[in-house]
Chains A and B, each alone.
Chain A
Amino acid sequence: MNEQLAFTIEVFANGLMAGVLYALVALGFVLIYKASGIFNYAQGVMALFAAMTLVGIQNGQVPFAHLINAIFGTDVHHFGWHVHSFLAIALTVVVMIALAWMVQKFVFKHLVGQEPIILFMATIGLAYFLEGVADLMWGSELKALNVCATETACLPQGMNVWLEGTTYEALGYGFFIDNLDIVASIVAAILVVGLVMFAQYTKQGRAMRAVADDHQAALSVGVSLNFIWVLVWSLAGFVALVAGIMWGAKSGVQFSLSLIALKALPVLMLGGFTSIPGAIVGGLIIGVGEKLFEFLIGAPYLGGATENWFAYMLALLFLVFRPQGLFGEKIIERV
């Protein structure tokens, strides 16, 4: 196989994989925006908070240990046990549901009917508050994240050797794909199918869609807005946990994890703020687009590091021609 063509295919495939990871973050934004019209600035911090909570529970870390020790003069840091990954994930989901309930109870319940910009500002406040709580609760140090089914069966890292060997034998060039990216793609696919099925075939899902379409009409037929918003924030919390696991497994869990939200913005601009398939397709287009541009033009002619701005430029181009994004609902306002 022609070497340049092989490289291009490899970059394309890895762009798809990166796109899936971007889409994972974007999904959380879409869920909340679709149901409540709130652009949740705190989604990246939610991923950080979820990942920190997971690692903290796994490692048996005492939450708020520094605060407890400072107030009571104790010296407690760990419970001395290690929690199995699956149980830790389940407990983290419970924490994220509790967080969703608190966010609704103490913040957004009081802001019903306010302008979208007020709601957006509230999420900015929430992001910084949550970051501070995460710091107090689990500490600022970097934590390694490893999700394991058994002692030896953990989230895989590194090159997929089988794929490399097979493609080398067949095409004369061994393609690189990261095992973790493959797992992330499978998880993202399951997540999207699960979310779509939940929205289509469950009573709560249908209520969620009703609220998304017209929350006043939904209220008039007895749908509880409070419940739906708690449900949606819980789902966004779960998506944040999945994104936190996948990104945290790559880099360790640390405060910069919240910056992954920056990768989701062009995906949302491109795919639309209200479409789950849009988030996936948008993620794939951004992932492939930025990687191919970097490979074909950025690195050879522009000195490299073009991915960040190219993703936004690509999204901007789509915005100009289709402001609602690829899959977003067209805004029609009657005068």
Chain B
Amino acid sequence: MKYKLGTLAVAAMMAAAPAMADLVFPSLSYRTGPYAAGGIPFADGYADYFTMLNARDGGIGGVMTSVPECETGYNTEKGVECYESLKGGGGLVYQPLSTGITYQLIPKTTADDIPMHTMGYGRTSAKNGDVFSHTFNYPANYWDGASGAINYLLKENGGDLKGKKIALVYHNSAYGKEPIRTLQELSEKHGFEFKEVPVDHPGQEQKSQWLQIRRDKPDYVIMYGWGVMNQVAVQEAANIRFPMENFIGIWWSGSENDVLAAGDAADGYKALTFHGVGDDFPVFDDIQKYVVDAGKAAGAGDQIGTVLYNRGLYAAMLAAEAVKTAQEIHGVAEINAAQMRDGMEALSITEEKMAALGLPNFGPAFDVSCSNHGGDGLVGVTQWDASTKTWSLISDFSATDVDVVGPLIAEDSAAYAAENKIEPQC
């Protein structure tokens, strides 16, 4: 009996573990728990892109890919456990999908020589590759988001925000507090009045905050929210008749989930982005043909073209392009995690490359280097149309304020380097 059980266990482990020859992209997903509505489409998009590469191209450089998933429930402890349990499987790059998990994994991934990609979240100063050798946060980070929002408002106001009131409604956590310093600096630089309005987790009840906004009458509201906080904020803003076109969320407050519950009242709400929206890109034809129609979709196939599905797909595309770069650099198809890191550090995303991948103008063109792990920080703005239930990109991917963001990144990363006795790597 024991022998049978042992045989079964070994067989199960062999079935679950990826073949060693695969290019492995572990997915730390959260398909359950309070944030599942946001985690599912991202995980689906991430997995479907690699499935498409396998079916259409025979993998990357002739090597098949695999995407083992581990459920984190958006919980930091579980996320770290997932990393530890998947580490032995030869994962090339980890996408923790949580700022909390990212902070825990920065020292671990560095010690294990495995790169980590925290696209639009995580530790902002990880942009400084001189200090954070194994963490990448291209193409944009939280502080780019704050600066991108202000740059957009500057354009809307003829380059002048003097005398304007801007409120930040934020999730009262390390994530939500990220843009405060940047916005304070930008407030001094551009002469607008800046007001902080924190919302406690989970944000199901925000009456006080929106009554405060009703009293203070800010000209614009920027939001750094997540999960249910977003839906309630959009509804409460509509309740007090705050003009939706003056309400801008960060990219984690700008998916269909965040506006659908409010119905028509959410019409005109804006959100920042670092990638394209909708499914009007040639790559989606291939996703449909090789993944959905073939019955290989990670989910029900009904999330294609949604904001968070696109973000997952975009993350997968950037990972795949980094693999190609690494394969070129090292002259081998079956790369390891250390070589993947080199590929990520030499990644160059151009318009031509994106067009060839079936994603023309889907995201900003950018280059990664040893000292710059965050790309150029270009940010766009999208707007919600409640009648058609679609997001539209209403601006170009524009540059953020390097003069303000740059010194903040240098200061924060220098403090981290001093604290952890890190020698510059570039």
Any chain A CB within 8 A of the CB of B205?
yes
Count B-side interface residues using an 8 Å CB cutoff. Answer: 41
> A307 to B231, Cβ gap below 8 A?
no
**In the assembly, what is the distance between CA of A7 and CA of B422, in Å?**
52
Within the complex, the shortest CB–CB distance from A331 to chain B, in Å, comes to: 32
Any chain B CB within 8 A of the CB of A176?
yes
**In the assembly, what is the distance between CA of A157 and CA of B40, in Å?**
29
Stretch of A88-96, A195-203, A297-305 contacting B (4+ beta carbons < 8 Å): A297-305
> B241 to A254, Cβ gap below 8 A?
no
Within the complex, the shortest CB–CB distance from A66 to chain B, in Å, comes to: 7
**In the assembly, what is the distance between CA of A114 and CA of B204, in Å?**
35
> A157 to B235, Cβ gap below 8 A?
yes
Also in contact, A142 and B261, with CB within 8 A (given A252-B231, A303-B198, A305-B199): yes
Also in contact, A251 and B204, with CB within 8 A (given A135-B32, A144-B260): yes
Also in contact, A159 and B239, with CB within 8 A (given A263-B205, A305-B198): yes
> B261 to A144, Cβ gap below 8 A?
yes
Stretch of A10-18, A118-126, A183-191, A209-217 contacting B (4+ beta carbons < 8 Å): A10-18
Interface members, chain A 144-182 (any B CB < 8 Å): 144-146, 157-159, 176, 178
Within the complex, the shortest CB–CB distance from A28 to chain B, in Å, comes to: 16
**In the assembly, what is the distance between CA of A78 and CA of B140, in Å?**
39
Within the complex, the shortest CB–CB distance from A97 to chain B, in Å, comes to: 27
Partner of A295, one of B36, B208, B240: B208
Any chain B CB within 8 A of the CB of A259?
yes
Most buried by A among B227, B239, B263: B239
Within the complex, the shortest CB–CB distance from B208 to chain A, in Å, comes to: 4
> B228 to A141, Cβ gap below 8 A?
no
**In the assembly, what is the distance between CA of A44 and CA of B116, in Å?**
36
Within the complex, the shortest CB–CB distance from A179 to chain B, in Å, comes to: 8
> A176 to B211, Cβ gap below 8 A?
yes
Also in contact, A255 and B37, with CB within 8 A (given A18-B205, A263-B204): yes
> B235 to A176, Cβ gap below 8 A?
no
Any chain A CB within 8 A of the CB of B200?
yes
Also in contact, A11 and B172, with CB within 8 A (given A77-B300, A251-B261): no
Within the complex, the shortest CB–CB distance from B23 to chain A, in Å, comes to: 27
> B34 to A259, Cβ gap below 8 A?
yes
Any chain A CB within 8 A of the CB of B197?
yes
Q: Name the residue of chain B whose CB is nearest to the CB of A48.
A: B34
Q: Name the residue of chain A whose CB is nearest to the CB of B40.
A: A140
B residues in contact with A131, CB < 8 Å: 32
B residues in contact with A18, CB < 8 Å: 205, 207
Any chain A CB within 8 A of the CB of B421?
no
Within the complex, the shortest CB–CB distance from A43 to chain B, in Å, comes to: 15
Any chain B CB within 8 A of the CB of A256?
yes
Any chain A CB within 8 A of the CB of B33?
yes
Any chain A CB within 8 A of the CB of B7?
no
> A250 to B211, Cβ gap below 8 A?
no
> A256 to B238, Cβ gap below 8 A?
no
Q: Name the residue of chain B whose CB is nearest to the CB of A304.
A: B198
Any chain B CB within 8 A of the CB of A291?
yes
**In the assembly, what is the distance between CA of A66 and CA of B300, in Å?**
8
A residues in contact with B134, CB < 8 Å: none
A residues in contact with B110, CB < 8 Å: none
**In the assembly, what is the distance between CA of A17 and CA of B205, in Å?**
11
Any chain A CB within 8 A of the CB of B350?
no
**How does the 8 Å CB contact mask read for B160-202 relative to A, with 1 for contact and 0 for none?**
0000000000001000000000000000000000001111111
Also in contact, A255 and B239, with CB within 8 A (given A144-B263, A303-B196, A308-B200): no
**In the assembly, what is the distance between CA of A279 and CA of B232, in Å?**
25
> A307 to B208, Cβ gap below 8 A?
yes
Within the complex, the shortest CB–CB distance from B401 to chain A, in Å, comes to: 26
**In the assembly, what is the distance between CA of A21 and CA of B241, in Å?**
22
Any chain A CB within 8 A of the CB of B4?
no
B residues in contact with A298, CB < 8 Å: 208
> A159 to B241, Cβ gap below 8 A?
yes
> B211 to A158, Cβ gap below 8 A?
no
> A157 to B36, Cβ gap below 8 A?
no
Most buried by B among A66, A294, A304: A304
**In the assembly, what is the distance between CA of A135 and CA of B32, in Å?**
8
> A158 to B228, Cβ gap below 8 A?
no
Any chain B CB within 8 A of the CB of A247?
yes
Within the complex, the shortest CB–CB distance from A229 to chain B, in Å, comes to: 30
Interface members, chain B 26-58 (any A CB < 8 Å): 31-37, 40
A residues in contact with B239, CB < 8 Å: 157-159, 176, 178
**In the assembly, what is the distance between CA of A252 and CA of B258, in Å?**
9
Also in contact, A256 and B228, with CB within 8 A (given A14-B207, A263-B204, A291-B208): yes
> B232 to A250, Cβ gap below 8 A?
yes
> B261 to A252, Cβ gap below 8 A?
yes
A-B contact pairs, 14 of them (CB 8 A): A11-B211, A14-B208, A21-B205, A140-B40, A144-B261, A255-B37, A257-B204, A259-B34, A291-B208, A295-B212, A303-B196, A303-B198, A304-B197, A304-B209
A residues near B, CB below 8 A? Answer: 7, 10-11, 14, 17-18, 21, 66, 77, 131-132, 135, 140-142, 144-146, 157-159, 176, 178, 247, 250-252, 254-260, 263, 290-291, 294-295, 298-299, 303-305, 307-308
Which 5 A-B pairs give the minimum distances between C-beta atoms? A252-B261, A256-B34, A140-B36, A305-B198, A142-B37
B residues near A, CB below 8 A? Answer: 31-37, 40, 172, 196-202, 204-205, 207-209, 211-212, 214-215, 227-228, 231-232, 235, 238-241, 257, 260-263, 265, 300
Other CB < 8 Å A-B pairs besides A14-B208, A18-B205, 16 of them?
Answer: A10-B211, A140-B32, A140-B40, A157-B235, A157-B263, A157-B265, A159-B239, A176-B240, A250-B235, A252-B257, A255-B34, A256-B204, A259-B34, A291-B208, A303-B198, A304-B172
